[in-house]
């Protein structure tokens, strides 16, 4: 399987340079990671794919003034379907595992920066993501339990038409 081809990506998405490839594994079904993003000047674009298991992958527009501000897209990514999801800078990203021992691989356009790392509460009712698990059953990190809602998020990105 061809998983990345620069000229096709550029023709369909735009010109971005990937600086690093990452891989993460979540052992348990119902593990939620996110919704994460990085502030400028360390904002990241991510190209996400699932290499083992399955996830519900979610992207939320957090660009103030955008006609789609606060709206999300959710896509099931599996090792079998081979789909990938592009997460542009200015969007928050998260996922929920649908199978045990799920692994994702993602390319990023900027390096991780703890100083610029931010997030939004994964189950913010204003966003309305239909996660495939009950709220009380989600496996979350302490970091993800304590994120602000979209309404309480300081302006991070501004939409430019």
Query: What is the set of active-site residues?
Result: 36, 106
Are 37 and 156 a contacting pair, CB within 8 Å? yes
Q: How many CB atoms lie within 10 A of CB 26?
A: 21
Structure tokens at 41: 């000047």
């Amino acid at each position: 399987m061809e998983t990345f081809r620069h000229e096709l990506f550029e023709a369909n998405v735009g010109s971005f340079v990937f600086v690093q490839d990452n891989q993460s594994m979540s052992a348990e079904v119902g593990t939620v990671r996110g919704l994460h993003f990085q502030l400028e000047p360390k904002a990241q674009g991510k190209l996400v794919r699932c290499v083992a298991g399955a996830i519900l992958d979610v992207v939320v527009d957090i660009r103030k003034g955008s006609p789609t501000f606060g709206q999300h897209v959710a896509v099931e990514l599996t090792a079998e379907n081979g789909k990938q999801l592009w997460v542009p800078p200015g969007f928050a990203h998260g996922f929920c595992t649908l199978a045990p021992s799920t692994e994702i691989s993602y390319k990023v356009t900027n390096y991780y920066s703890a100083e610029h790392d931010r997030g939004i509460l994964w189950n913010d009712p204003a966003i309305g993501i239909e996660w495939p698990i009950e709220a009380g059953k989600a496996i979350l990190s302490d970091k993800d339990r304590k994120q602000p809602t979209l309404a309480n998020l300081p302006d991070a990105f501004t939409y430019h038409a």
